[in-house]
Structure 1
């Protein structure tokens, strides 16, 4: 059966399947053969390419030379192309279409692009590729340069005017007429005669807002001459009270604005490096920044000890606290109970602390700063504003705001926005506003409000900040509780971006769910005079002074041949040097801080020491008063000064008789009448000189000359011992107490 060729190994169906697979296998074999042939051809081609490979370095050199030689042709081609476009659009003048000018600009830009920056030594590794593949980039750069030239030319006669109130008119034509009248009045005040017809275009920039009505105005003038004259006469605007909020600037392109911003940033950085250092000027110190702390305490009274501990080391100049009062508590502490006397000497400003309105606001301002409260006209209640005098004419406005999250009415938000606008319109050079605004849905990374509605509270709040050109610096969540989503509720606003630095997010106070923010506010601040230094002559080491003076050889030091002034200056310098070394000093008004401690054992020990000190003080006081009374006849000034210092009511000048020579006349209480009576009395002793020339006295002949006076040591010692120690020092700055104590040691040199 195996020998038969027509034998069937499969059934009919299986045979059909077998034949199909057999055909497929033949096709696969044919394709594989074709693929192998193609691979053999490619390998042969690659071998030929390797054998005929050229020098790559030589090719790169040739390409650079060709590009360099073709630059001039490319410039001509691009100039013709750009000029033809400009002539077709008729959008520029003949001056800006000048081929030579355009050619020079393009050549300069190509020369900049053709040489890429090299960050290392030698040639850049990508220089050849850059030069061969960047032709399209060059062309795009040249096009941008031409567009920038045209845009600057089109804005050459434009002005931007800020601060002019616009009319709330329904008709656009009426608005345009009113704006042109305001501008025409502005030009007249600057001594510029310009008809309303010459104002080509007057356009308001930005979205219309009925609450502010102070959008910038774009003005297109017929030529550049009125614009130049306006800037020359700008001092007329600054001197006029009605233009206090009006400003004028050029209409800058986007590139110019970016360049100006970079220059301002560079200037600020340079200023921070060179100027932001503490500078001593006469009797005050100029500080470059103020350290600040802000937090939402959620009831401060029970967290006050922790706040004292936190601020004791740093001693911030400004501390702002919101939600000072508890939500439900019968006892309401007074503002004095929130004192931080252990930290520093602060002046406290509070709002709604002694009533049932709101949660209460509290600002601590260092007493070295000249601070006073500012009253706002807005209806928003939870606000507290303080102004601080800075260097020269600058002033800082500090605001503290709390917005209740339960009130989401549109009127409430409008009151908040009106308060912000009022604060920004007062003309302060520096503005710092801190507070809990309770807007959890605002994305501060992109400054976006939720949803697309333009009537939402969040959208109106963001729009108000942008209209007042305020910067918001808090970018992290400031409030979290349990498993709730953290939100950015507490905000810090300034009128310049660089005013705030070194912002730190610290842990909350106690169990509050709001973090504490610490930062520096950059400004120049005058700190008040340093405390006066007082010398304690009653504690001087006079024994040591005498010992030092007795060791000096006065005969060798004070030569008879020397001038008397020279010898006196030598003696004076020695005494003053002894004064500095042996007389102790202290600052006037310097008192040691008292630390509170609730530990019973510590309190018991404190009470014991306090009673001992009090008993000792009372004993010393009694001895001092006894000593004053015993020496009342010798030193009456001391006892009367002590009596006056302990008198609670200070009396002025009593009632005077209208006629001092007649005690029967009526007495007067009027201050001006008293002053006149005293002036007439004291001036009565003056000598009335006759009018005319002063008479020359007759010469008196000298018959007996005064003999030379010999001053003995006993006389000098007698005068020094008679000095009153309660008197003030003279021109030589030597106190009478010091001279009296060392009288025996300085008698001989004197």
Structure 2
């Protein structure tokens, strides 16, 4: 009877026995020397070493950690984090990453369910984030909200739809989740994950004929979502590549670029490196503007601080620019000590507002504060009356303003496009440029794009030959130019 080495190692009787491959005498001697060298190097303090192909090499780092060290992402979305055969708890310490806050759709310290594959979202600690839940039942979903500037936020959802579930039921529930999320009207929405819908060809909107694929595609169109993945994300030997991982957003220009790289570990799915064009609020950062509060200024202190400087002595050896910089430095330092600052909310004035609208808004805020202070029913009626009169007024002014700029679009196009751009939440940017003349060299940074565009523009200029420059001959003028 024959046994494999892995079968013998399970037995307690053979646990300390190493079964080596069939080697020649010379190969055994070399292997023995390598093992002795490996023990000696580990004893001297070297770590993460192992024997590979007859050489002692450093053990490669964990792929996720190496990806974090290389790319330094702010957000990490992972699906299928639990192996299928795993029964014991994952344990939360094993899921922690330094300087990241983790969110999961399962309890890592509880016994696992067979149907759960697990989703994890990592958010860097420098961002303000919190988990969000929705009422629609769909097991493999996880939602996190990240605060952005100007009192906005980015809602991130990670989805995993198992191919072993009933597609008609799971897709129907998933479509209900999408509709519920859109009803909350998030300013910025990003949905990513493994949807396992290989029958949809997103490049030309073709389907394999399944009704659930048509239902999912129609829901994406109905919710006005944009799908950004245009390359296969899953490769497996013996089967054709498919687009199983999707990236959906409610704004087309929020995704600046997507880079496709090899998967983590033994996964046959690619990693998607997504660059977003939005400005998050970092820790200890406010969306308000820090302004001077001149109502609480101390001009006498400001004057005394400025008098402490011997201006004639300090400025006598400086030129104009140096004198100006020196004065502004001292003046700003004195202002910081004598004029307090406060957080001024950033409020954008609408182009169609007038004094009547501003007065009604102030009156509404005043009545609301009075009602909250007193709780009187009459104060609430006064607030409701002003609020109900303000809303129709703003709608009428906006309608008239839009009609006017639409009529004047040919004579005043700048006003039209200024208003249109003010309604766009994501500003379009120049994408990554590719120079075909230099072996498809890419320019992703602003400096690289400027250099590539400058090189292209200068290539269209006419280059005059400097070899044959004509010589000008002196001419005798009979009359002179007396005036213009």
TM range (shorter): 0.3 to 0.5
**TM-score for both structures, normalised by structure 1:** 0.30
**TM-score for both structures, normalised by structure 2:** 0.45
Name which one, 1 or 2, has greater alpha-carbon Rg: 1
